[in-house]
Structure 1
Amino acid sequence: MEPHGCRECPSREGSSLPGERASSDLGQALSQILHHLTGLDSRRGKARNAALQDLSALIEATEGDELFGGSGTSLRGMPEMLGQVAKALEKYAAPPKEQGGGSDGHSEVAEKAAAVGLLFLKLLRKVGAAENSLVCPARKACLRLLAGPIYIFAVSHSLEQAWTSPRSQDVAGQVLAVLLQVTECASVAGFLHGENEDEKGRFTLIMGLLKPDLNKETWKNNPATKHVFSWTLQQVSRPWLNQHLERILPPSLLISDDYQTENKILGVHCLHHIVLNVPAADLLQYNRAQVVYHALFNHLYTPEHHLIQAVLLCLLDLFPVLEKGLHWKGDAARPTTHCDEVLQLILTHMEPEHRLLLRRTYARNLPAFVKRLGILTVRHLKRLQRVIIGYLEVYDGPEEEARLKILETLKLLMQYTWPRVSCRLVVLLKALLKLLCDVARDPSLTPEPIKSALLEEATDCLILLDHCSQGRVKGLLAKILQSCEDSKVVTCLRKVQQASEGAPGDGT
């Protein structure tokens, strides 16, 4: 049914006397528009388009003081009515529930978003124009009710997603910019947590609006909700985030616990932001840090390298929180830590792993674990030795990321555990010399700078190995120099000899 009553509203309002009649007409018009946007008629394209046109005409034809409540008593509910209309528009432009069949409806969603965005721009400009009006006491109340739905709309459609188009992104970006201007906020972060300590931000409001769509049964009904939550969360940092911990931690764990890798990674990024921006005392309270740790640890059994990378980075920042309360007493062995547990699992997975992307991911993060454990890495020395030797033998592609990171790990390992290195001299020396020969004679397309970096790192490892073994490497290399014909290898071995001359042989 065509919303004729809505279309007649502007002209009828113009011929009315000020007071009850104009107020009644405006309220009825908004009520009918809201009905068509939220009722069954919203499924019919004709009625839907008519409702949007009616709202556009109504906003243009109505003065700001009347639209936001004026000075009369009959429009006290107008801010609430406009807030309901804004929520209905945001829901109307939201992408539909994800289906397995494809993205046929995404172009329609982008068109809806562009149309709704233009309406929001008109409405926000009316709000801005009424800023200095003394006859508009309800402006602040109206802006408070409009800000949340408009913000959610803007973030949903300004980010590049499957349901957006360049036009819808542009319009949504304008909506966000005008919203910040009208609310007198210099940034999104200021909009959310307040521009100063005395001002209350809108983060609680936004989380309250998102909450119904972020429980176990509903969070997949709108595919934009998780992205709005994640993006909004990451705009708020210390010291404002900890007061919202009860609102943000459960949705982050829920998203990270999904079966889809994309959602797991998104949830882990949310958890990582929480770990970085919430004080350790708050994370340790009620065992929250342990809950996060177990959620992350379970992801280490998946073979997705992007997920593994996100999880390991988060765990490395979580370890200081988990180990904050641990104190070593000198008369007893140091207790094993969560870092020990994770490193043990990583090394178990690294040994048989043949997929290059996973090998690179593991190798990329291994130096950070050795630095974290320091001398306690000696607990994992045997397995680390096997992993290091195995990874040095395998060509890793033109960038050689895995072998470079393994050489970095070996250098750190020898620095932290040097008293245990001399008994492994022969095994490590053979592995490093083999690597030098392989790289020097490599006929592949590996760029020369990468080859040079490999040779330099391997040479540094040989120098460290010589220091750890009280100069024994220098004596063993003397015989090799007499028979070696490869100029690159000879150059590296001479560097080892020269660096060893005059250096202390005490392993320090």
Structure 2
Amino acid sequence: MELSGLVRALRLEAPGPEPPPAGLPPGLPPAQQLLPQIQRLLSPGPGRAPEAAVLRELGAVLEAADCEGLLRGAVPAALGALAAALGGFAAPPRQEQEGADLPPRAGSGAATAERAADVGAVFLRLLGKLEAARSREGLGAAAVGPVLRRVEGPVFVLAATHLVEGPWTSGGSRGVAQELLAALLRAAGCGSVAEFLRGKSEEEEEEGRFAAVLGLLQHELTKDTWECNPATKLVFCWTLPQVTRPWLSPHLERVLPPSLLLSDDYREENKILGVRCLHHIILNVPAAELCQFNRAQVVYHALYNHLYSREAPLIQAVLLCLLDLLPILERAQRWQQQSSPTAPCHQVLQLVLTQMEAEHRLALRRVYARALPAFLQRLGILMVRHLKRLERVILGYLEVWDGPEEEARLGTLEALRCAIEHAWPRMPCRLPVLLPALLKMIWDVHTDQSPTPEPVRAALLQGATECLILLDRCSEGQVKVLLEGVSRSCEEPRVRECLRKVQESA
């Protein structure tokens, strides 16, 4: 088999007292010529060895090779080209962009997983040799580093592609991927994936491997190609969160465009992936860099458009992301000495309240209600611009039971408490509508026959009681006066307990 040339090249590069085995023909090919031979063997065609047989032979070659021979001469460059070729060979087949959202053809996923498992086994042999060379006296990390730098990118991408279950994976390929990632970290001397990607420490100024991984993924993450390989987006979305502040900042120009592309897709799953990537970037890149070239504004407009969606998981991801982006936008406006009544936070809250007021789906009502207190907290007293709509939303949400966990009503009570604390001068005039709504909710919770857990009922009653106490304080005792008659006529012990707490509050 032509692959025997690799054995000869490795043995020639490895010094030692043993002469080459007898019977070898003269004119052995140099190491840099090995890649075309292997590519020819792996290419389909008549008279070629089967792919699995070629990979098994290649694994056996690496197993038999001398550790020191892998680190000398032209062999490291040949191994780097070999790793790149094997990584491309094991990658899932590209799809036409028009049909990128279609499932893979029958059998193609199983074939891809089988190829990946075979290539992973070859990589495991190679990493085993490099790990042995790293601990060998006279070699160490300095000798292994140049070779490892050439092969670790394709190895990492292959492992990340098959770590998570997908149409192109199988139980075998996922098991090999886990072993491969663990072997790669051992060979690199790293304790975690994050350390592998970013470098061991900022003080040592050791460059991580994130740039190399992005280099391999970048040509598959452009506007015209990202839909052709669905595995690439998952590798990117899994790798990006591993790199945090301050290591992510130098890669901003390379990670922001793919995140925006994903978030702009028409499929909800891709939108959520993109929004989560954008959120990670917002949390781990300095605000000054995000504000350069209006990057933060671009991200804001991309997120704002998603607020018109009707999917609860996407809305939840967008609202969480906006909560961390809004302070950056406000800081940028202060730097530019701009002041506008239509500031981003006001725009978002106005749209959220508009959506909440007309929303009837419980899943979305829960998402909105959980996020509302944080937006009110951020605006503070400036929420008075939205009090009329906010009041209608609070009244409507307190009336409706939304499930055993009562997430919507608990979030609404928290929003009301926040509104009373920050906009208390505007609350006394709203007692005629807020006080009956809170009392009605207390009575409904007490008499409710639904399977609501007792801790949830107690939390609702406690939240309503706290709101009544705050209303009493900001109205200079009017609530106590209005509740005197109710306390005397009420016979339900649980309701009387809530009213007693209000009456006895300082």
Computed over aligned residues only, the root mean square deviation of the Cα atoms, in angstroms, reads 2.8
Please say if 1:340 is aligned against 2:340. no
- CA spacing shift, 1:102–1:55, aligned 2, 3 Å: closer
TM-score normalised by L of structure 1: 0.89
- CA spacing shift, 1:11–1:338, aligned 2, 3 Å: closer
Structure 1: gaps spanning 5 or more residues: 71-75, 504-508
1:259 is paired with a residue of what secondary structure?
coil
Rounded Cα–Cα distance in structure 2 between residues aligned with 1:41 and 1:233: 39
Rounded Cα–Cα distance in structure 2 between residues aligned with 1:22 and 1:139: 25
- CA spacing shift, 1:333–1:417, aligned 2, 3 Å: farther
Q: Hey, what does 1:63 align to over in structure 2?
A: 66
Please say if 1:191 is aligned against 2:196. yes
1:130 is paired with a residue of what secondary structure?
helix
How far apart are 1:108 and its partner, in Å? 3.0
Q: Hey, what does 2:277 align to over in structure 1?
A: 270
Rounded Cα–Cα distance in structure 2 between residues aligned with 1:66 and 1:16: 19
How far apart are 1:94 and its partner, in Å? 2.3
- CA spacing shift, 1:148–1:11, aligned 2, 3 Å: closer
Q: Hey, what does 1:223 align to over in structure 2?
A: 230
* Residues 41, 49 of structure 2: 8 Å contact kept: no
Q: Deviations over 1:46-97 (max 9, x none)?
A: 6322321221222123323334444xxxxx2x33322222122222222334
Match of 1:404 among 393, 400, 410: 410
Which residue type is aligned with residue 462 of structure 1?
L
2:452 is paired with a residue of what secondary structure?
coil
Please say if 1:214 is aligned against 2:221. yes
Q: Hey, what does 1:386 align to over in structure 2?
A: 392
Q: Hey, what does 2:36 align to over in structure 1?
A: 31
2:219 is paired with a residue of what secondary structure?
helix
- CA spacing shift, 1:110–1:45, aligned 2, 3 Å: farther
Please say if 1:481 is aligned against 2:487. yes
2:242 is paired with a residue of what secondary structure?
coil
How far apart are 1:379 and its partner, in Å? 0.8
Please say if 1:170 is aligned against 2:186. no
* Residues 35, 81 of structure 2: 8 Å contact kept: no
How far apart are 1:271 and its partner, in Å? 0.6
Q: Hey, what does 1:302 align to over in structure 2?
A: 309
How far apart are 1:101 and its partner, in Å? 4.4
How far apart are 1:10 and its partner, in Å? 4.6
* Residues 127, 183 of structure 2: 8 Å contact kept: yes
How far apart are 1:324 and its partner, in Å? 0.7
How far apart are 1:133 and its partner, in Å? 6.8
Rounded Cα–Cα distance in structure 2 between residues aligned with 1:103 and 1:496: 67
Rounded Cα–Cα distance in structure 1 between residues aligned with 2:484 and 2:6: 98
Q: Hey, what does 1:496 align to over in structure 2?
A: 502
Q: Hey, what does 1:90 align to over in structure 2?
A: 87
Rounded Cα–Cα distance in structure 2 between residues aligned with 1:22 and 1:8: 7
Q: Hey, what does 1:54 align to over in structure 2?
A: 57
Rounded Cα–Cα distance in structure 1 between residues aligned with 2:145 and 2:404: 60
1:224 is paired with a residue of what secondary structure?
helix
Rounded Cα–Cα distance in structure 2 between residues aligned with 1:267 and 1:155: 18
Rounded Cα–Cα distance in structure 2 between residues aligned with 1:470 and 1:99: 62
Q: Deviations over 1:237-274 (max 9, x none)?
A: 11111111111111111111111111111111111111
Structure 2: gaps spanning 5 or more residues: 12-19
1:220 is paired with a residue of what secondary structure?
coil
How far apart are 1:138 and its partner, in Å? 7.3
Q: Hey, what does 1:151 align to over in structure 2?
A: 156
Q: Hey, what does 1:506 align to over in structure 2?
A: none
Which residue type is aligned with residue 5 of structure 1?
E
Q: Hey, what does 1:121 align to over in structure 2?
A: 124
- CA spacing shift, 1:11–1:209, aligned 2, 3 Å: closer
Rounded Cα–Cα distance in structure 2 between residues aligned with 1:334 and 1:99: 42
* Residues 34, 84 of structure 1: 8 Å contact kept: no
Q: Hey, what does 1:281 align to over in structure 2?
A: 288
TM-score normalised by L of structure 2: 0.89
How far apart are 1:16 and its partner, in Å? 5.6
Q: Hey, what does 2:254 align to over in structure 1?
A: 247
Q: Deviations over 1:188-233 (max 9, x none)?
A: 2222222133212222111111111110111122222112112221
- CA spacing shift, 1:237–1:99, aligned 2, 3 Å: closer
| Equivalent runs, 1:364-443 vs 2, <5 Å | 364-443=370-449
Q: Hey, what does 1:15 align to over in structure 2?
A: 21
- CA spacing shift, 1:102–1:139, aligned 2, 3 Å: closer
* Residues 5, 29 of structure 1: 8 Å contact kept: no
Rounded Cα–Cα distance in structure 2 between residues aligned with 1:384 and 1:30: 67
Which residue type is aligned with residue 457 of structure 1?
G
* Residues 33, 54 of structure 1: 8 Å contact kept: no
Q: Hey, what does 1:100 align to over in structure 2?
A: 102
Rounded Cα–Cα distance in structure 1 between residues aligned with 2:345 and 2:139: 63
Which residue type is aligned with residue 102 of structure 2?
G
Rounded Cα–Cα distance in structure 2 between residues aligned with 1:19 and 1:312: 69
Which residue type is aligned with residue 198 of structure 2?
H
- CA spacing shift, 1:139–1:452, aligned 2, 3 Å: closer
- CA spacing shift, 1:30–1:66, aligned 2, 3 Å: farther
| Equivalent runs, 1:287-366 vs 2, <5 Å | 287-327=294-334, 335-366=341-372
Any runs of at least 4 consecutive aligned residues in structure 1 with deviations exceeding 6 A, and if so which?
A: 17-20, 135-138
Rounded Cα–Cα distance in structure 2 between residues aligned with 1:496 and 1:316: 34
